[in-house]
Structure 1
């Protein structure tokens, strides 16, 4: 059954749809006292504004549109969020199909997002703006990979749409287009994609989406950045080598916290194939490596220049989201027979889904 469910993006999408329906049902039968982000949305959904505070407005605009039609209810808060999460998985799978050139492997990669706790558990727990960021990041990966694979006008417009949505979802998304550009510079063919005249159309779409909030942000920059600065603040720690060391250590711990579970699961199920694949690669794996390294270097520089001693693993969401696709692409590039590893990997996915539902219920 699991093998049939992972043959195509469509069949894997049906499995995911059932999973998110269960998440909606579970939240509906739990007490209706609101989580912090849910309470915030129930308040802000009464107003349509260009800016709401320390977070960009995309999720607020979406919630306002839903509540304007349906009225306020627990369903109006949880259904749109689960739809966004479902679309995050779906666009991630479509991105994987471009990089892997194998629909069945892309379907497995789509479901493998469940191995990232920041996506599978933390986003369901309460987070709203992070959910929007996950959606925008998956859409960006799909638009970016599609532009590299088939550079038609629709691909560029999709890339611009994803960039615009990302920039008004979370401010740290601004690093994504930069690292994507850095990642394709060594490849002559892909470098021409960035110089294509259709890139102007993508930039125009992104600017149109961002413009209302950008105008508001110009006069409210201190207000919008206050919450992030407080979270990153070093407190009473004096400036110097100790604070830099603590900041870099926190950054390193955040990377481990983000990547540990998928690495352990892939290593345990694919075993020697996973180890052998570490030295393999192709132009797609090289590009993804450059994306991740450039983004992590950028965050490290931010930690150094701000003197931060706090780095939360969910801040890495858009930059390390590509890990499951990357692992599968590495093993594919090694020319290995992955059938045995996939047989061991597939049963892990529904187990993790059940663990998330149980944990949310007990919580």
Structure 2
């Protein structure tokens, strides 16, 4: 059941477009009024505002991607491990504006999701009109990585997909009205995309191959002015590119491990077979339940007459062929044995739009049905997210969001008032402690002696139960050691347990 505000807005969208017909012309068709588009954008803004409110109300633990972003956002550098830096830079900026906390964390994510859905809406309206654009953009909520998982725990993938959507919108705007400003904007978006997530290159190569394969697009895009787009993208990439070359092994090792996911020692044949099966499974899981909703919206094969001869239809076809060809090459090189559905979203986010470009419906009812399905799904997601901590606990699960990190932070501040820096066992613990007042400075083992200036003081080292701390480097004498346990005040009760060592921090060795 959808919340009343979202349901009423969905009904407004449906009622204001009743009776509109859809043609199958290759030129953009103005289906739906300007009020339809405005109502949808308002509904979209309210939907993501509701997600912010829900997340801020759950002021306890962070999931993995959230905690990692908070951990890295303590400082600005040109690179952060195996991920490009753009999301962390944005998170740092949001924390500077809104303060380090759940507000800045959730606002950034949902602002990027609004950018993604809004860019798809703008592109679809350019091609098919306001009603179709509303249904297509809303249907993104039916794609699990973009609807459900994005709210659960995603960061870099959301940014990369939002930039891909904005780039594709700019690409089509450039086709219809070429100009230097649009070429520069396209280059900027592509350059930023490469700094959001490395698999953005699949979308980039797919778009380049598609624009070359469609003559009508090639004549506009691949002129002598293409250097403007390439130059802006290159300039945008230079700072991080320099870091990437210097830290190549650090930047790629974790990604390569994820790509193989336990198949490092498998034979080439087994690796390829596993890679192909995982790719097929990822595609199927990505398009489900979207394809079910599309079938239900069309209902009759007569509503799905193919319209594949237009340049726009061929562009989408070649975009997916080119991008999936790049993934297939990686699989047959033996470097990619494991594909996750969310890795495909920078390439396949436009699939709902492509379906309607390929198979334009004969009646506007198809769009209205899809819009209602998406509104119901969005309402269900909102309700489930609000009840999620209680539902998961009722089934005996212990989600990270329920962990009592506020109590742990308060206990540390009470017992060790002179401590401002904590050495943590992993980034999950570090991010969760840093986001809670008093916002301790957190570091992983080995980082503290490397990047802190000379000086003395006390450092608290948190260890997993049963672990032992051995003084070394700038962490010298152990002043106190013991065990720290905290319990949440909520129902159901969750607990955290750590061994700790209060250590004297001396000058950095020279």
Q: CA deviation at 1:307?
A: 4.2
Q: Distance between the aligned counterparts of 1:61 and 1:105, measured in 2?
A: 35
- Tell me which residue corresponds to 2:98: 70
8 Å CA contact 2:132–2:367 kept in 1: the answer is no
Q: CA deviation at 1:57?
A: 0.5
- Tell me which residue corresponds to 1:20: 48
Q: Is the aligned partner of 1:182 residue 2:209?
A: yes
Q: CA deviation at 1:281?
A: 4.5
Q: Distance between the aligned counterparts of 1:307 and 1:70, measured in 2?
A: 42
- Tell me which residue corresponds to 2:176: 149
Structure 2 runs not aligned, ≥5 long? 1-11, 18-31, 389-510
- Tell me which residue corresponds to 2:442: none
Q: Distance between the aligned counterparts of 1:119 and 1:346, measured in 2?
A: 16
- Tell me which residue corresponds to 1:34: 62
- Tell me which residue corresponds to 1:240: 268
- Tell me which residue corresponds to 2:131: 104
Q: How does 1:85-164 map to 2 (within 5 A)?
A: 85-100=113-128, 102-164=129-191
SS at match of 1:170: coil
Q: 1:307 to 1:63 in 2, by over 3 A?
A: closer
8 Å CA contact 2:193–2:200 kept in 1: the answer is yes
Q: How does 1:156-305 map to 2 (within 5 A)?
A: 156-233=183-260, 234-235=262-263, 238-273=266-301, 276-278=304-306, 280-305=308-333
Q: Which has the higher strand share?
A: 2
Q: Distance between the aligned counterparts of 1:198 and 1:357, measured in 2?
A: 46
- Tell me which residue corresponds to 1:311: 339
Q: Distance between the aligned counterparts of 2:229 and 2:193, measured in 1?
A: 13
Q: Distance between the aligned counterparts of 2:319 and 2:85, measured in 1?
A: 26
8 Å CA contact 2:121–2:133 kept in 1: the answer is yes
Q: CA deviation at 1:280?
A: 4.6
Structure 1 runs not aligned, ≥5 long? none
Q: Distance between the aligned counterparts of 1:21 and 1:274, measured in 2?
A: 39
Deviations 1:186-206 (A, max 9, x none): 333321223323322222221
Q: Distance between the aligned counterparts of 2:342 and 2:277, measured in 1?
A: 16
Aligned length in residues:
359
8 Å CA contact 2:45–2:114 kept in 1: the answer is yes
SS at match of 2:48: helix
Q: Distance between the aligned counterparts of 1:201 and 1:279, measured in 2?
A: 34
SS at match of 1:171: coil
TM-score, reference length from structure 1: 0.93
Q: Which has the higher helix share?
A: 1
Q: Distance between the aligned counterparts of 2:92 and 2:53, measured in 1?
A: 22
Bigger Cα Rg: 2
